[in-house]
A and B are shown apart, each in its own frame.
Chain A
């Protein structure tokens, strides 16, 4: 599913067709009112159309063709903006619908008074108990209160391996739409059917139901303010033009209402106004593409602001388990012998550490794993008492009996000394060195001979160090959370390149840390899965719950990662930043565009004023620096550019601006150059080109 979504083309046939229809449907003034900038354009389009109709009936058709073209492009401006929003919605919905399909036509077996009854899934209420057996779909989000079962969650996660869900503990949460593969469980429904994660997510990509985020509201206020300023500038321009025309002895005003409306629409920030909601929706969409469900747009925005990441060591920074990385033999001991003994003692050890010892011996010394049964040996499992494990061989075929043990240094020491051997000093030095470097030493002994030390180390994920360096460049601090002791934690922290770590961290420590960071003004993001993570997830500004986590954890966070991949937190932050950057870039672009539009329309309006001889161009014709053909072609070119730039920028709004992890100053410089300077220059070129074209085809 993940890969499917990523390969969806930007302009998918069916989505484009539906978006085109939706664009017309969105002309509903009630919807337009939500977007003050585009509402002004709509009013302008209606007024111009009214003037054309009036002129048609009064027979005053001198400007008819010109005014009709203006009206047409005004309508296009509104439609293009609607189309942008519809496109973003369509793409978001396509993903959501794929997920929703899994929930339709579902039936539930509700337990009421000990009896089972069949109802449809939407009838379920919070607190209902439902029975799910092998082959059943789980009808809603809930918690297992009885039984254990394997569940196929591929509909949600795309991961085909079944997972175990059981009552009690951290694995009790189930998601609506997943399928029970074996056994029988009783599930208590924990959320109303209308408010499951899926429903909330679908609401976030549907424009009509979408709540504006705080930053979007602030930006809308700014854009509305600019619109009012331009409205004032254009309305008063009528008076100033009239004054100047009287002074120049001109009777026929060039500042007609359609021309002034065209100027107004060109000046108000229609580019960002038209694309603002598409940017927001596609930000949500990019989250969904990475299989992250956010419960609010606000959470996505907050992700961009996060400057402290609390990352669990296991799974995010390290591969998960400690692995054998080195054999350090004692003096006078062949490395081969140590490796052989270590491998033998671990053959029956099914822990990941045990298996990694077998693998290391094979890789480093070519020792192949053998079957214990063939060797006539007895495996001594690890116990809390002895803190050792090992293997005993009975004497056979002339081979003497052997007894190999491996375990913590002090345990082996007392074992060896009890057997009458001595514990070599240099082994102790090795043990101390390894521990100091944050790894775990395991000492191997055969009989009363100490053979040497196995170094077990947490293996840091490839590339993670570079990732953290990038984050640091972006001003984001990373804090590693681990249950390890301080020594081990410090070593891994240094190797992975995190900025800080919390060793032997309890959930309470996490919560305290988050509060402390927030008091200092930081915004904190974290991931979590267990029930005991819930308070911290709720406290964090961005809490990403793992889908494999408990229902409590998922309710506490404001995002759920369907892939349960803690590393994704970094991507979540990047998506948030990209969303904000796209908004800023297009706002800057939109405002810098205005300069060129003034130079197109003002000379068209003022060109004849104060002319030395009537009918000749006056001094202000000098403002026509683009050398546009005629006043009419200049006005049309500006308004055509203004409308088509919205369409041209739809891909940018949907994809987001190009993003590289860099410091703020560098990002700003880059975006200012592209969108500030670019926004200044582009319309000069665009308007000139359009002027050449419409002059050639004779539209003006």
Chain B
């Protein structure tokens, strides 16, 4: 590694740490309904939306009402997106004249964007019209991300409030998140991207002659606006098939750096928002530290493995090099983003395995916007329950007793995505329908299958590449995995929020299990790693681990 690369990584982490309290504090004010510098400009628009949809800003919801609103809103979004795809040929803004999308692929894609997964079984420029991309996919880029943020804000309120029955209004949280957080950030970010050469137009695809004299069809389109939210909303669905490895999506080192930073920006900042809202910034920093430490461990292992491997440039853009490809890979798999600037399948087995493990751990290392933090809070509750008993009191988190309902929901939230990954991957590994999509044999083939289902259930959306996922088998099963992986966690998270909101708060004393110190960071990390490792170690040892061992002895697949 060069000094420049090390400096880049240090700068990346430094900026992330600096931005966390700035953006996090702003978001805490937005969701607390306090005045911000954007309020004078945006309040009229906000109120207009409430009037239009008939929502009262001061009317709060119980957790069940909140969950119903969220699920119904997302199902409606799914239906709209599905219809847009299967009818796009007859709709406007389709200069390339792309045909209607085949229904099972449309189901998979609609699910994928509604669940903030953005798994793409298709190539963007060859499948989706501009209309589908803009008012279909891109709208979901905003609202699916905002749904995730809304859930974590509701969960935070549940933990912070005392003997309350409501956890906020989904509609208000959704509107505020889009208006005050995503739109301003995206506007700025899209302009920066355009200035660097990312395209934003409605042109027809262009015919060009390359230097070697061959003819090439260059896709066009409104890319910059979509890329901004794709990164900020941990969506990851590329405008073009090769995602941010494409020069129109990611033209310069600066765009590469900023696109990487924006992957983790909001998930990291939300930890600070959380700390502010529960009235203890330390609680937020503790979660941030646990996330950062897990991220760094993964990153270091990946870098070490990659620099030690042969053929390290395969599948990577020469424009970015190894360090930037790996840093992006670590960030995108940690954060359930799913955008890529290199092909993960070409990483050394161990680096690919860490990317896979990042997803399998539940997408809680920063994780998806909102999703990462509510996943992390569920792990915090489990940690408190397992370790908290050892201090001789029934466990409590932020002064609230953790009882059977919370444990039931937390276990459900951990169990459902894991069950999808294991069961579906097992099915794929012994059926022809599953096996025929592999690009490689042996352990690498198993890694491809595991990665696909982990990415789906973890709502990551990145692909290991290699696997042909556009088959009825994968489109169907992955679609189911995405639904379960998304709402199988959201509903339990909201259920926990609802029951925690009703509880009293026991004031802290020296007899309380401390959740705002280094010991808790270590315990939280240990629980995440142990639960994840115990669940997936057998599968991982037959995929990336054995592949790395074989590679060490000179055998490749």
Residues in chain A within 8 A of chain B (CB atoms): 214-215, 217-219, 221-222, 224-226, 228-230, 232-244, 247, 267, 301, 304-305, 307, 472-477, 519-523, 576-578, 580-581, 583-585, 587-588, 591-592, 594-595, 598, 602, 606, 609-610, 612, 618-620, 622-623, 659, 663-665, 667-669, 671-672, 675
CB <8 Å contact, B393 and A606: no
**Cβ distance A182 to chain B, nearest Cβ, rounded Å:** 47
B427: CB under 8 A from chain A?
Answer: yes
Q: How would you classify the secondary structure of chain B's contact residues: helix, strand, loop or mixed? A: helix
- Interchain CB contact (< 8 A) of B404 among A214, A230, A587, A671: A214
Give the residue name and chain of the B residue nearest to A241 (CB): B542
Query: Do A581 and B509 touch (CB < 8 A)?
Result: no
A663 to B512 Cα, complex, angstroms: 8
B46 to chain A, nearest CB (A): 36
A39 to B170, CA, bound (A): 42
Per a CB cutoff under 8 Å, which of B390, B510, B531 touches A588? Answer: B390
Chain A residues, CB < 8 A from B301? none
B379 to chain A, nearest CB (A): 13
CA of A71 to CA of B411, assembled, Å: 30
B545 at the interface (CB under 8 A from A): yes
Q: Complex Cα distance A541/B415, Å? A: 35
Residue interface mask B369-393, A partner, CB < 8 A = 1: 0000000000000100111111111
Contact B390 A473 (CB under 8 A): no
Please state if A218 and B404 are interface contacts (CB–CB under 8 Å): yes
- Identify B446's interface contact among A244, A520, A587, CB under 8 A: A244
Please tell me if the beta carbons of B386 and A588 are within 8 angstroms of each other in the complex: yes
B442→A247 contact, CB < 8 A: yes
- Measured between beta carbons, the chain A residues less than 8 angstroms from B427 are 239
A510 to B423, CA, bound (A): 58
Cβ contact within 8 Å between B446 and A475 = no
B5 within 8 A of A: no
Give me 28 A-to-B residue pairs in the complex whose CB atoms sit less than 8 angstroms apart, sorted by A's number.
Answer: A222-B407, A224-B411, A225-B414, A226-B411, A232-B422, A232-B535, A233-B538, A235-B426, A236-B426, A240-B426, A240-B539, A244-B443, A304-B393, A307-B509, A473-B510, A475-B510, A521-B399, A577-B392, A580-B393, A581-B389, A581-B391, A584-B389, A665-B514, A668-B513, A668-B519, A671-B390, A671-B391, A675-B390
Known contacts A229-B418, A307-B506, A668-B513; A240/B542 CB under 8 A? yes
A sample of 14 more A-B contacts (CB under 8 A), given A228-B415, A606-B541, A620-B546, is: A214-B403, A214-B404, A222-B407, A225-B415, A232-B423, A233-B538, A236-B539, A243-B429, A244-B443, A247-B443, A305-B394, A602-B537, A664-B510, A668-B387
Residues of A within 8 A of B411 (CB): 221-222, 224-226
User: B390 contacts A609, CB within 8 Å?
Assistant: no
> A229 touching B414 by the CB < 8 A rule?
yes
Nearest 5 pairs of A and B residues by beta carbon: A475-B511, A584-B389, A577-B392, A225-B411, A475-B509
Q: In the complex the two chains form, is A606's CB within 8 Å of B542's CB?
A: yes
Could you tell me the distance in whole angstroms from the C-beta of B8 to the nearest C-beta in chain A? 35
Q: Are A236 and B385 in contact (CB under 8 A)?
A: no
Residue of B nearest to A601 (CB): B538
What residues on A are CB-neighbors of B517 within 8 Å?
A: 665
B403 partner residues in chain A, CB cutoff 8 A: 214-215, 218
A522-B419 contact, Cβ under 8 Å, with A244-B443, A304-B392: no
CB distance from A485 to the nearest CB of B (A): 30
Establish whether residues A580 and B389, one from each chain, have CB atoms under 8 Å apart when the complex forms. Answer: yes
Task: Evaluate contact between B415 and A606: CB separation under 8 angstroms.
Answer: no
Q: Is the CB–CB distance between A619 and B550 below 8 Å? A: yes
The residues of B that contact A659 with a CB separation of less than 8 Å are: 392
Q: Once the chains are docked, how many angstroms separate the CA of A297 from the CA of B353? A: 47
- Check: B553 CB closer than 8 A to any chain A CB: yes
Q: Is the CB of A584 within 8 A of B388?
A: yes
> A244: which B residues are within 8 A, CB to CB?
443, 446, 542, 546
- What CA separation (Å) do A229 and B446 show in the bound complex? 20
Contacts of B504 in A (CB 8 A): 519, 521
Chain A residues near B445 (CB, 8 Å)? 247
Which of A226, A475, A477, A623 makes the CB contact (< 8 A) with B541? Answer: A623
CA distance A238 to B426 in the complex (A): 8
